[in-house]
Amino acid sequence: MSAPVTCNSSEYRPVQAALNRQQHLRILYDADQLQRPVPGWFEVDYWEHLQAVVHISGGRGGVCRVQTPSGAAALKRYLRGGQMSRISRDRYLFTGWERCRSFREWRLLAHMRDLQLPVPQPLAALCSRSGRRYQAALLTRWIDNAVPLHQRLEQVSDAQADGLFSLVLQTIADLHAAGVYHPDLNFGNVLIDASDSVWLIDFDRARLLDQASRRHRLALPSMHARLLRSARRLQQGARLQPQHVLRLQELLVKQQD
């Protein structure tokens, strides 16, 4: 088995969870990185007023790169997709502060960072309640000079592509070994930075599983299948070369043997 893929040790810092309680909202944050973030930090308008935001497309609502006092960060608002977006674009049923989507993702990221898995550092999560509904947002450390996997594959040789695929599959194996299931592990959620290190992002729907459970046993082939479906869709859209899809498929078959 290959060595686990971990965060750069010089960049790793343990997460120090702190909670800012206000009447109708809570902000969960890393006290080692931020000093009591305010609700405005989770609004694009706040950063636009400071001329400290760059809009980045992606996901249902997109992600903004904002320049916080602690450095560059990705700001994500939780937005619905599909039919449910017609009912409410950004409001969810409130069932408790800790069950808020942003809090769950923040805590999962913090857990994975403690294991030194290559995921973004969680900075702050907002849960703002209004009656029986809530809105949510998340701030994570920006990963510098990183692009989605398919964009990096356009720039490398076939031999280098093999190396990248091997790193990606090892990272997914490490994730699974830690009990984490990422149900939306598409090429856009796999980033490659300037040193060709692998980063996994967008853990909104991810879960920690009991490692003795049947769900955990099925999680790794499920993540592999999701990655391969993403590759085929990119190929259909002429955004990924056929040889890359074929090579990924071959490597996945090898892992199953």
Picking from 214, 233, 219, the residue whose alpha carbon sits closest to that of residue 150 is: 233
Check: CB of residue 27 under 8 Å from CB of residue 43. Answer: no
Check: CB of residue 122 under 8 Å from CB of residue 113. Answer: yes
Picking from 93, 136, 122, 101, the residue whose alpha carbon sits closest to that of residue 17 is: 122
Cα dihedral 124/28/44/83 (nearest 10):
110
Picking from 120, 118, 191, the residue whose alpha carbon sits closest to that of residue 151 is: 191
Structure tokens at 222: 């499920």
The active-site residue out of 184, 196, 204, 257 is 184
Provide the sign of the torsion angle of the four alpha carbons 151, 157, 158, 162, taken in this order.
negative
Check: CB of residue 228 under 8 Å from CB of residue 252. Answer: yes
Task: Please say if 184 is a catalytic residue.
Answer: yes
Q: What gap in Å lies between CA 208 and CA 177, rounded to an integer?
A: 11
Catalytic residues: 184
